[in-house]
Structure 1
Amino acid sequence: MAKKRKRKIWLYVLVAILLLLLVFIVYFKIVTRIAPPTELHPDELGFERVKVDEDYYRCEGSWLRKNDFGLWELYIEGKPLELGVMNGLLTSELVKSQEDAFVEQIKVMIPSESYLKFLKYFTAWFNKDLDSYIKQEYLLEIYGVSGFASENYEFIGDKYDRILNYHAAHDIGHALQNLNLVKCTAFGVWDERSSDSSMLIGRNFDFYVGDAFAVNKILAFVNPEQGYKFASITWGGMIGVVSGMNEKGLTVTLNSAKSDIPFGACTPVSIIAREILQYASNIEEAMAIASSRKSFVSESFLIGSAEDHKAVVIEKSTDTTLLYDPGMDHIILTNHFQSDYFKSTPLTIENMENETSVYRHERVQELIQAKESFDYTDAAELLRNRKGKGGKDIGQGNEKAVNQLIAHHSIIFKPEQKRFWISTHPYQMGSYICYDLDSIFRYASDVEQEKVIVLNDLKIPSATDYTINDFNLLNIFRYQADEFKKLIAEGDSIPDEDAVIPLFIMTNPEFYYTYDLIGQYYQGKGDVGNAVKYFKLALSKEVASADERKNIEERIQECSDE
């Protein structure tokens, strides 16, 4: 009798646990579901895309086409929902391929299925209030784009939830572990530092989530119903801004900074940048917008203003927004805060001591000081520079270089002339092509198929010191480095390693990471003699960061203890 009673009690407990679990699942689904900003489905607007020619589409007064340099040029106009629907309809294949590339790279970066599932639910919970921090007009625009997203990722979330959350991907990376996806470099010169005294701004957007992610870059020309017309360099599904200029000659670019761990959703930094670009005409207005929004993470907004004839940095942490103005004829921005208040904080000090930001800042200062003045071709030369301080060869792809050969895009602005130059493949080593914002918006809605909107006479030629052989060699190095990492993880051996390892070294002989990988390979095999030899060779090169140097030194110690 007692045993039956115990079984009944355990049965009741089990049923109660299952009911609680069911209640929790239902509750989780309810509180994490983000309702669309309108009941109107994007299809109900009745827009249709017309294919005019190969890689050329039109819809009403909006259009998308691929230029001779491989860049997609997009023009959209209208109210917020119309902007989103036009964008999504015209770029539907690009939206889908971009999500394919993003999800595939996330799987490469996070191979654990269990951690990916955790990430999915963490993101859903973390961002459950995300829509309350984004203006209604941008929610409508994102919703419009999301109607044309892929059907293949419903297991991650519905289309609107996914596209909305992708706008916070950069911020979520910080939220999880300060992921080093972004190590950008930017600078500006004016007055005596500029060859014609007008302002010149350049930046490398070194945001890397796989090569496929950077294949289909979109140059978006946006004519919103409210606010200023603007141009932005973006990708399929993205309405936020990372680099752009508006019709008033105001420019915005983003550089990440080391951040506190946030505990809930706020406004994604790309959406803050979008609002600045659409509604600010000068530094004061940009600062007012940035100050009015609470961000997920710490970020630096480099603001160039034709009206103010200078560039400044808006430094924004999760609870403080400050303006940094160097008070000189030039400005440099990498990935650390520079204002008196922020540069003394523990996070900034840690970042400056352990990461590559200070080194790149000092390298840009060297390059600026080496020239009397800059024009747009000089700006491209600086942004393409692959050497370390003092012109030292630090290997290809070193994070200490201004040009790490991973850039999604590189861009040069002349705000007072409202012109900009955007890089073409590969990275920033191909031609930079020029656009004039005023002339584009003058006839954008009536542009004809054969109309070339690139200013070919102002094109910056491809880098002469970077050949197809250099490009191929770097790709071989990166492929072989990935193979080494697989061998290290699986504990396998290289067939004919005496021949393979010297060939691997030849692909990138001055890069510390080449020797670090070989050392790790030998350490995994138990060959501590060769492991220590290559670890010491790695330390003899320019190691990217203090943390990386410490890791290599610890591996040497591990070998000594064996």
Structure 2
Amino acid sequence: MKNILFSLLLIVCSLGIFANYLGTAIPLDIKDGSGPPAIFIERTANSHRHIILQGASYHRGLEFGKYTSDVLRMQETLMVSKLDQFIGNSFVQKIFFSTLMLWFHDVDKHIDRDSLEEMQGISKYAPDEFQRLTTNYTRQIAYHGLHEVGQMFVDEDRVDMGCFVSAIQSEQNKWVIGRNFDFDIDGIFDREKVMKWVYPQEGYAYLSVVWPGMVGVVSGINDQGIYASINAAGSDDFSRVGTPTTIVVKNVLLKARTLEEAILIFQNAKTFIAEIFVIGDRKTNRVAIIEKSPARMNVKILTKSEVTANHLESEIWAKDTINAKRKTELTSDLRKKRGLELITENTYKDPISKTVQILRDRSLFDGRQTHLGNRGAIDSMIASQSLIYDMEKNILFVNLGPGTIGKYLGYDLTASFEKKYPVVVKELSADSMTTAEYISWQDSMMKVIEGKRHLAKNECRQTGEILNLLTKKSFVHYDKSRLAGDYSMKCLDNSAQAKIYWKEALAFYPPYEKQRRYLEEKLK
């Protein structure tokens, strides 16, 4: 028996070494690292953080890493702490990472050299303390697959991720695109976002609203008037590896001058997740929704106002089981339905104000009873980016935060690209909710999550203390009501009181089908 166990241990160790050998990215031999120093503009109470990058790709990466190294450390520390919560054992963590490295060992072969060089530059300023996981350069590549891995959990009740886009027209039939990018880990990606202005040696200049360390793009516009953003989706189609979709979008901004050129780049890209891309072409006043999986792609040129969330809608996905689950069991269709309710006219006299109204909408469709933070709402209080693009005037409005409640600053992109410096020309006013109220709501929501963890460990005293605190604050949320019901049953053995809370939770229309099923079973 000992010999068998020893043999198994040798096999596991050998696989780990093999995985690390295959999965560790080999640094590039870089010939050109030239370029002018970056211009870095720090964030203030009434401005965004900006970085203006020029020159060779490796040089741009070095400058990006140098000016944002403190935030790189914060972000990675937070992400690793989340991993520690998910997998507490360091040995199991190593097996997990080795498995991922073996699975995705050749992902760098699907990433263009320009992007890899920039990642290698950034990696010089990545925190060395996490080399216990793998090298700084390998981690930079891996984090660009975070969107692909996270996509599997988008619109699930375990994590706060999701996206929404609206496209409406003015009375002159000019398009205005609005977008909420919902990705919240303790609010860090909202607070620390950066306006990244890139002036490459080859290709078109572009603006990416992104985070320190990120080469890929989730929302951006180039100096040719091509807008591009991504919404995660899901499909039965499978590919082990491919180009991260954020890198595909980056290459669209770098290389596309027209909508047709952008579509061709998407067609030729080998991706390994399903995604929804919204593309705008300012010169021809056209907007397209591209639905793409590893095996299929559909392009829809918009002829009227439209909204999209996190499920695929073309007929080619009619029999796709994962997409059907996204639509019927999760929140994407709820947000889509609410968006369509808000688009009551073909054109709008003030499409900017209408788009703000849509992006800040916190109600459920069909007049269902709700409260702040329902994931079935368009604005579920987790937006790390909220953007509005006025295609006619070439102005991009970006939220100051927190979430959608603060002001939006409008940048004249024509003037900004010409001057190689951000030019603010407009502001959109803040929401009626104050920053203090928003932060108080977020703190209460974190208390609910903490209470759920305590109850899972049968820590009744701590759970009760949290519920008492939330009651004093008059905090309302379906998860809080469900927690109170579960606590009443598990800790107080009071089924009558538990059912009152469960009924209250169900009345708030929890957005996930499994949540509603759970409560319905409890109330039988």
> Residues 245 and 343 from structure 1, CA distance in 2 versus in 1: closer, same or farther, beyond 3 angstroms?
farther
- Mapped to 2, the partners of 1:174 and 1:495 lie a distance apart of 33
* Residue 547 (structure 1) shift: 2.1
TM-score normalised by structure 2 residue count: 0.91
Matches within 5 A, 1:275-424: 275-325=251-301, 327-369=302-344, 373=348, 374-390=350-366, 392-424=368-400
Structure 1 residue identity aligned to 2:138: D
Residue in 2 aligned with 1:539?
506
Alignment match of 1:185 (pick from 137, 153, 164):
164
- Mapped to 2, the partners of 1:294 and 1:78 lie a distance apart of 28
SS of residue paired to 2:183: coil
1:518 and 2:491 are equivalent in the alignment: no
Structure 2 residue identity aligned to 1:103: V
Residue in 1 aligned with 2:137?
160
Of residues 522-531 and 199-208 in structure 1, the stretch that sits farther from structure 2 once superposed is: 522-531
Of residues 397-406 and 481-490 in structure 1, the stretch that sits farther from structure 2 once superposed is: 481-490
1:454 and 2:445 are equivalent in the alignment: no
Residue in 2 aligned with 1:83?
60
* Residue 473 (structure 1) shift: 3.6
Alignment match of 2:451 (pick from 471, 484, 503):
484
Query: Would you say the 8 A contact 1:477–1:507 is kept in 2?
Result: no
Query: Would you say the 8 A contact 2:335–2:376 is kept in 1?
Result: yes
1:123 and 2:100 are equivalent in the alignment: yes
SS of residue paired to 2:115: helix
- Mapped to 2, the partners of 1:349 and 1:31 lie a distance apart of 36
The alignment of Structure 1 onto Structure 2 pairs a total of residues equal to 519
- Mapped to 2, the partners of 1:95 and 1:498 lie a distance apart of 36
Of residues 237-246 and 94-103 in structure 1, the stretch that sits farther from structure 2 once superposed is: 94-103
Of residues 512-521 and 96-105 in structure 1, the stretch that sits farther from structure 2 once superposed is: 96-105
- Mapped to 2, the partners of 1:309 and 1:381 lie a distance apart of 23
Alignment match of 2:460 (pick from 469, 475, 493):
493
Query: Would you say the 8 A contact 1:105–1:210 is kept in 2?
Result: no
Residue in 2 aligned with 1:100?
77
Unaligned runs of 5+ in 2: none
Alignment match of 2:495 (pick from 520, 528, 543):
528
What per-residue deviation string (whole Å, max 9, x for no partner) do you get for residues 273-309 of structure 1? 1111111122211111111112121110011111331
* Residue 21 (structure 1) shift: 5.4
- Mapped to 2, the partners of 1:152 and 1:144 lie a distance apart of 18
Residue in 2 aligned with 1:54?
none
1:463 and 2:431 are equivalent in the alignment: yes
Query: Would you say the 8 A contact 2:451–2:462 is kept in 1?
Result: no
Query: Would you say the 8 A contact 1:96–1:236 is kept in 2?
Result: no
- Mapped to 1, the partners of 2:4 and 2:400 lie a distance apart of 64
- Mapped to 2, the partners of 1:410 and 1:177 lie a distance apart of 17
Query: Would you say the 8 A contact 1:505–1:514 is kept in 2?
Result: no
- Mapped to 1, the partners of 2:191 and 2:300 lie a distance apart of 34
SS of residue paired to 2:277: strand
Query: Would you say the 8 A contact 1:477–1:504 is kept in 2?
Result: no
SS of residue paired to 2:161: coil
- Mapped to 2, the partners of 1:107 and 1:364 lie a distance apart of 37
* Residue 475 (structure 1) shift: 2.8
SS of residue paired to 2:483: helix
Of residues 391-400 and 217-226 in structure 1, the stretch that sits farther from structure 2 once superposed is: 391-400
Query: Would you say the 8 A contact 2:220–2:227 is kept in 1?
Result: yes
Query: Would you say the 8 A contact 2:373–2:380 is kept in 1?
Result: yes
- Mapped to 2, the partners of 1:87 and 1:156 lie a distance apart of 23
- Mapped to 1, the partners of 2:5 and 2:512 lie a distance apart of 53
Of residues 99-108 and 416-425 in structure 1, the stretch that sits farther from structure 2 once superposed is: 99-108
* Residue 337 (structure 1) shift: 0.7
Structure 2 residue identity aligned to 1:459: E
TM-score normalised by structure 1 residue count: 0.85
* Residue 107 (structure 1) shift: 3.3
> Residues 496 and 126 from structure 1, CA distance in 2 versus in 1: closer, same or farther, beyond 3 angstroms?
closer
1:36 and 2:4 are equivalent in the alignment: no
Of residues 373-382 and 426-435 in structure 1, the stretch that sits farther from structure 2 once superposed is: 373-382
Q: Percent identity, aligned pairs only?
A: 24
1:209 and 2:209 are equivalent in the alignment: no
* Residue 18 (structure 1) shift: 6.5
Of residues 95-104 and 297-306 in structure 1, the stretch that sits farther from structure 2 once superposed is: 95-104
- Mapped to 2, the partners of 1:110 and 1:386 lie a distance apart of 34
* Residue 27 (structure 1) shift: 2.6
> Residues 70 and 102 from structure 1, CA distance in 2 versus in 1: closer, same or farther, beyond 3 angstroms?
farther
- Mapped to 1, the partners of 2:2 and 2:71 lie a distance apart of 53
* Residue 160 (structure 1) shift: 0.4
> Residues 426 and 216 from structure 1, CA distance in 2 versus in 1: closer, same or farther, beyond 3 angstroms?
same
Structure 2 residue identity aligned to 1:513: D
Unaligned runs of 5+ in 1: 1-9, 48-58, 558-562
Of residues 116-125 and 543-552 in structure 1, the stretch that sits farther from structure 2 once superposed is: 116-125
> Residues 87 and 471 from structure 1, CA distance in 2 versus in 1: closer, same or farther, beyond 3 angstroms?
same
- Mapped to 1, the partners of 2:92 and 2:267 lie a distance apart of 35
Query: Would you say the 8 A contact 1:74–1:219 is kept in 2?
Result: yes
* Residue 39 (structure 1) shift: 5.8
Residue in 1 aligned with 2:225?
249
* Residue 177 (structure 1) shift: 9.3
> Residues 167 and 298 from structure 1, CA distance in 2 versus in 1: closer, same or farther, beyond 3 angstroms?
same
* Residue 428 (structure 1) shift: 1.0
> Residues 435 and 178 from structure 1, CA distance in 2 versus in 1: closer, same or farther, beyond 3 angstroms?
closer
